[in-house]
Amino acid sequence: MNICIIGTGYVGLVTGACFADLGNRVFCVDSDRKKIDSLKRGVVPIYEPGLEEMVRGNMKKGRLSFSTNIKESVKKSTIIFICVGTPSAESGEPDLTALEAVAREIAKSMNSYKLIVEKSTVPVETGEWVKRTIDTLFASGAKKREGGFDVASNPEFLREGSAIKDFKHPDRIVIGTGSEKAKKILLELYKPLKAPIVVTDIKSAEIIKHASNSFLSMKISFINAISVVCDKTGADIKKVARGMGMDKRIGTSFLEAGIGFGGSCFPKDLDAFIHIADRLGYNFSLLREVKKINSEQKNVLIHKISQLVWNIAGKTIGVFGLSFKPDTDDIRNSPPIDIIRMLFARGAKIRAYDPKAAQKSRDTLARLCPGKKKEIVYCKDAYDAAKGCDCLVVLTDWNEFKELDFAKLKKLLKNPAIVDGRNIYDPEMMKKMGFTYIGIGRR
Ligand code: UGA
């Protein structure tokens, strides 16, 4: 099938590359010329395992191409996936102006039947607005109706760091549409994945996405709240989470206590869902609390650091990890970046190491904290980051932090103290090796 992908961010790029890999002809469009120029050369601007190879391979086979020309790309395609950003405004309300502009552009470029699919995470009723926007354009006579169109919602459930795997082996695919024709086309498109498919109306599909991300965020805040109770009582959060998760109704995943969730999805989608509920006249106070607990978790970590170093002012803190999760260089809403800013505010010096996110962090922190450039050193590896530190803090659970030479690490530290914000080390082992160790919810 011929597919047009509008927006080449994480979602658009992964979706486009994976559809091409399934044998479709995919035309990816973005208004950012620099990004498109780089993609045309086979250079992917983000780090996502396997993505660059997949993009290059499919470009070579002539199944994947990039351009800034939305008109031509829409004309050549039957299915148009809208993957543009829906950032949060100050109020938490999602900004849908880019999406509306794209809907108009698509309408103006229609030369035959088109199936327009929302892939971006959008508020419930956005599908109706897209349809109405295009219909209005036709009704006004500004554009001749050619071939008709349908709108569908097909939310993505891709996790950064494992996006390709998630695309190819999804737990489920959600297709929201009121049209039999659109349903048939999308069922055919996804047939090779042999995954369970849920077909709904558009509004239900839109809510499935926001409700799923909100529920997962709630699970994380729940386990973080339990970790505070464990800290106060001497129970072990790892054991509590395991004991809870073995109940199939609860499940073991997303019960890792830590420094709180971040990234470009959960915080934004929570804000959006709270805002949507407000607009509909419902105060979703449960989600407000999820947000509050998530934000407080950073204070929990700062408190643990001060338990080990006393005054943070003047101390050197070694930071392991800057990205919001492992296997990505993404630092959008990254808890480690917030924690570094909190440490700066308390007068600490930082030695930081991240396998992939150092450059992005350097640029972002220089912009956010221009007076603190000299207070942070970006190190070449974990050992370098440990040199002369009063305390080490693990902020991202990259695999390489799990397999270090701890005797060497201990010698490099000024004070052998570790705050493990991701619970990646065994407290007993750390104690045996002579570290003063504090995890999350594991006294
Ligand atoms: C999330 C969802 O998991 C995807 O299903 C969804 O498609 C995506 O958002 C999106 O809406 O586009 P992502 O943000 O890439 O994916 O990352 P997650 O693996 O969900 O992690 C989010 C945050 O939660 C990270 O900061 C992670 O460290 C934290 N987390 C996750 C925990 O603190 N504890 C856990 O048990 C799990």
Apex CA 230: angle with CA 225 and CA 232, to 5°?
100
Q: Does residue 208 fall inside a structural domain?
A: no
pLDDT tens column, 102-148:
999 999 999 999 999 999 999 999 999 999 998 888 777 776 777 89
Last residue of a domain, one of 152, 174, 200: 200
How far apart, in whole angstroms, are the C-alpha atoms of residue 388 and residue 390?
Answer: 7
**Confidence tier at 383 by pLDDT (50, 70, 90):** very high
Write the CATH number for 337. 3.40.50.720
**Cβ within 8 Å of residue 341, ≥6 positions away:** 365, 368, 369
Give nearest CA residue, ligand 1 atom 11. Answer: 265
Domain that holds residue 397: 236-438
Within a domain: 217: no
The maximal CA–CA distance of the chain, rounded, in angstroms, is 78
In this structure, the answer to whether residues 46 and 124 fall within a common structural domain is yes
Is residue 228 situated within a structural domain? no
Task: Please tell me whether residues 68 and 16 are part of one structural domain.
Answer: yes
Residue 145 and residue 241 in one domain: no
**Residue 243 and residue 186 share a domain:** no
Taking 80 as the threshold, does the pLDDT of residue 203 lie above it? yes
Same domain (yes/no): 344, 401: yes
- Is the per-residue pLDDT at 343 higher than 80? yes
Q: Does 66 contact ligand 1 (Cβ within 6 A)?
A: no
Q: Please indicate, yes or no, if residue 430 is contained in any of the structural domains.
A: yes
Site to probe by mutation for ligand 1, drawn from 46, 261, 296 as the one with most ligand atoms within 8 Å of Cβ, is: 261
Using the mean position of ligand 1's atoms as its centre, give its distance from the Cα of residue 265 in Å. Answer: 7
- The answer to whether the Cα torsion of 298, 303, 309, 310 is positive or negative is positive
Clarify whether residues 391 and 280 are in a common domain. Answer: yes
Question: Residue 11 C-alpha to ligand 1 middle, in angstroms?
Answer: 14
**Does ligand 1 have an atom closer than 6 angstroms to the CB of 268?**
no
Cα angle, residue 119 at apex, residues 117 and 120 outer, rounded to 5°: 130
Mark whether 251 and 361 lie in a shared domain. Answer: yes
Which is nearest to 32 in space by CA: 84, 80, 107?
Answer: 84
Asked whether residue 424 is assigned to any structural domain, the reply reads: yes
Mutate-to-test residue for ligand 1 from 15, 121, 213, 217, highest number of ligand atoms within 8 A of CB: 213
- How far, in Å, CA of 29 to CA of 127, rounded? 21
Contact status, residue 151 vs residue 131, Cβ threshold 8 Å? yes
Sheet holding 436-438, edge to edge: 376-378, 349-353, 316-320, 391-394, 417-420, 436-438
Give the nearest ligand 1 atom to 255 CA. Answer: 36
Q: Which of 176, 200, 224 is the last residue of a domain?
A: 200
Q: Which residues are catalytic?
A: 265
Q: How many domains, the chain?
A: 2
Residues 374-389 have a mean pLDDT of 98
320 and 367 together in one domain: yes
Same domain, 67 and 125: yes
Q: Does residue 12 sit in the same domain as residue 134?
A: yes
Is residue 262 located within the same domain as residue 150?
no
pLDDT tens digit sequence for 281-291: 999 999 999 99
151 touches 110 (CB < 8 A)? no
C-alpha 386/C-alpha 390 separation (Å) is 9
Q: How far apart are CA 323 and CA 46, in angstroms?
A: 12
What length does the chain have?
443
What are the angstrom distances between the C-alpha of 63 and each of 35, 57, 66, 69?
19, 9, 10, 17
User: Do 51 and 13 meet the contact criterion of CB atoms below 8 Å apart?
Assistant: yes
